[in-house]
């Protein structure tokens, strides 16, 4: 069994061995995540959907108002005005549909970019912190590991399906959704060690690793709340320079402990966990 205090102490010692590089890795992820978040916010403001205030009925009312105004200048008593209203209502409804379509298209593009940029970099960050445990000279470009390894598609699809399962279950029942989140917690770490692993096997291994460890993992997460509160008083600077790399290194230590446990129990073997090997001397150090 692992101890929260020991895991945190190991994580702190790990990232302090290469503090600057560890901070940069976490900063890269924060910036990219912030870019996507800002982009989504901008799209939602620029192309407002029915939920944010502009609806089909809004456009219809505008069309009806303009139509009524136009009828004043119409020679005929009925037909021309009615026709104008029909045309304006049609255009209004079409405009609303276009706005909704653009918003949905932008959201879809954001999801795709997150999957193929943020997800691989997150897995690469996990790889960096796992290698940092053994080598303080771990190169910064390990964050690009998934792109270099050539298993981008499998990794992205595995994480995508994992998130779909979690979201669907959370929509049905919140508590089981949270439990499932912790159950699949190790999947991105398994992928950082074995990006070509079969998806069902990755999910099964994560379940085995988190068996009887979900509550302790929750308490581990809870133990960082004080740091996050302190970060609020520094406008997030503390998070950038200390908390984020501290948490990332601690999670790497947690994975290492749970990984060793399932190997000792015979639940997994070297085919599942091939190890992190030695860093190639030709790897660039940024």
DSSP output for the chain: ---HHHHHHHHHHHHHTTHHHHHHHHHHHHHHHHHHHHHHHHHHHHS--GGGT--HHHHHHHHHHHHHHHHTT-SSSSHHHHHHHHHHHHHHHHHHHHHHHHHHHHHHHHHHHIIIIIHHHHHHHHHHHHHHTT-TT--GGGGGHHHHHT-HHHHHHHHHHHHHHHHHHHHH-HHHHHHHHHHTTTHHHHHHH-TTS-HHHHHHHHHHHHTTTHHHHHHHHHTTHHHHHHHHTTTTHHIIIIIHHHHHHHHHHHHHHHHHHHHHHTS--TTT-----PPPTTS---
Q: Global pTM? A: 0.79
Using alpha carbons, select from 125, 181, 123 the residue that is nearest to residue 155.
123
Separation CA 220–CA 4 (nearest Å): 6
Q: Has residue 271 been placed in a domain?
A: no
Residues constituting the chain: 286
Query: Do 280 and 138 meet the contact criterion of CB atoms below 8 Å apart?
Result: no
Q: Is residue 255 part of a domain?
A: yes
User: Number of structural domains, the chain?
Assistant: 1
Task: Give the largest Cα separation in the chain, rounded.
Answer: 90
C-alpha triplet 255, 280, 193: angle, nearest 5° = 25
Determine, yes or no, domain membership for 45. yes
Phi/psi at 194 (5° precision): -135, 75
Domain range spanning residue 82?
4-265
The owner of tokens 């069994």 is 1
**Residue 1, both tokens:** 């069994």
Residue 273 in domain: no
Q: What is the pLDDT along the chain (286 residues), one digit of tens a residue?
A: 899 999 999 999 999 999 999 999 999 999 998 887 776 666 555 544 444 333 344 434 434 443 443 443 333 344 445 556 666 565 566 666 777 767 778 778 778 888 999 999 999 999 999 999 999 999 999 999 999 988 999 999 999 999 999 999 999 889 999 999 999 999 999 999 999 999 999 999 999 999 999 999 999 999 999 999 999 999 999 999 999 999 999 999 999 999 999 999 999 999 999 999 754 433 433 3
| Nearest CA-CA partner of 125 in 202, 211, 31 | 31
189: Cβ–Cβ under 8 A, 6 or more apart, which residues? Answer: 126, 130, 251, 252, 255
- Closest among 153, 125, 117 to 39, alpha carbons compared: 117
pLDDT at 1: 80
Assess if residue 112 is contained within a domain: yes
Residue 272 in any domain: the answer is no
284 part of a folded domain: no
Give a yes or no: residue 124 inside a domain.
Answer: yes
């Amino acid at each position: 069994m692992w101890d929260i205090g020991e895991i945190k102490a190991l994580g702190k010692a790990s990232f302090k061995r290469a503090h600057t590089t560890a901070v940069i890795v976490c900063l890269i992820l924060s910036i990219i995540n912030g870019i996507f978040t800002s982009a989504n916010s901008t799209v939602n403001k620029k192309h407002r959907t029915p939920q944010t205030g502009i609806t089909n009925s809004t456009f219809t009312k505008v069309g009806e108002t303009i139509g009524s105004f136009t009828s004043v200048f119409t020679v005929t008593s009925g037909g021309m005005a009615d026709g104008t209203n029909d045309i304006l209502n049609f255009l209004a409804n079409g405009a609303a549909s276009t706005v909704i379509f653009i918003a949905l298209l932008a959201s879809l593009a954001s999801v795709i970019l997150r999957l193929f940029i943020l997800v691989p970099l997150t897995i690469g960050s996990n790889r960096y912190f796992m290698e940092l445990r053994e080598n303080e000279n771990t190169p910064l470009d390990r964050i690009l590991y998934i792109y270099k390894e050539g298993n981008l598609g499998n990794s992205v699809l595995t994480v995508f399906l994992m998130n779909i399962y979690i979201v669907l279950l959370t929509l049905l029942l919140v508590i089981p959704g949270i439990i499932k989140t912790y159950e699949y917690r190790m999947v991105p770490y398994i992928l950082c060690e074995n990006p070509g692993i079969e998806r069902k096997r990755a999910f099964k291994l994560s379940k085995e690793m988190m068996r009887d460890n979900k509550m302790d993992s929750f308490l581990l997460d809870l133990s960082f709340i004080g740091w996050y509160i302190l970060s609020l008083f520094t406008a997030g600077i503390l998070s950038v320079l200390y908390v984020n790399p501290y948490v990332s290194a601690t999670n790497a230590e947690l994975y290492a402990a749970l990984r060793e446990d399932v190997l000792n129990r015979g639940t997994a073997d070297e085919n599942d966990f091939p190890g992190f090997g030695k860093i190639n001397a030709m790897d660039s150090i940024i």
